[in-house]
Amino acid sequence: MATRYTTAELHRNISDHDKRIGSLEKNDAKQDEQIKNLCDDVVAHEKKIDKLNEVVIASKMAIKVGTWIVAAFGISVIALIWALITGQASLVFP
């Protein structure tokens, strides 16, 4: 059996659908803008990350050099202590 609707009821349903569709389109436009802003933020963060990677790579060599210098200093201190213990060196204070 077919369901019958009055013209006024159909018109009201169509008006409600138009309002809902308009609301969804407005919300869609807002979300598109938010997505665009988020994508722009991601691109900006990627650029910053690339710069940080360059800095880290550049400082890697300085860290290696610093490690060798500290190691050499540590070894010389150990050698001095060993020389003092074995009597091969002596400290003279004026």
Structure confidence by residue, pLDDT tens digits, 21-40? 988 999 999 999 999 999 99
Whether pTM > 0.85 for this model: the answer is no
Single-letter amino acid, residue 53:
N
pLDDT confidence bin for 1, thresholds 50/70/90:
low
Residue with tokens 């210098």: 69
Q: What is the pLDDT of residues 69-87, one digit of tens each?
A: 999 999 999 999 999 999 8
The 3-state DSSP composition of the chain as helix, strand, coil percent (nearest 5) reads 85, 0, 15
| Token pair in block for residue 56 | 């880290």
Q: What is the pLDDT of residues 39-58, one digit of tens each?
A: 999 999 999 999 999 998 88
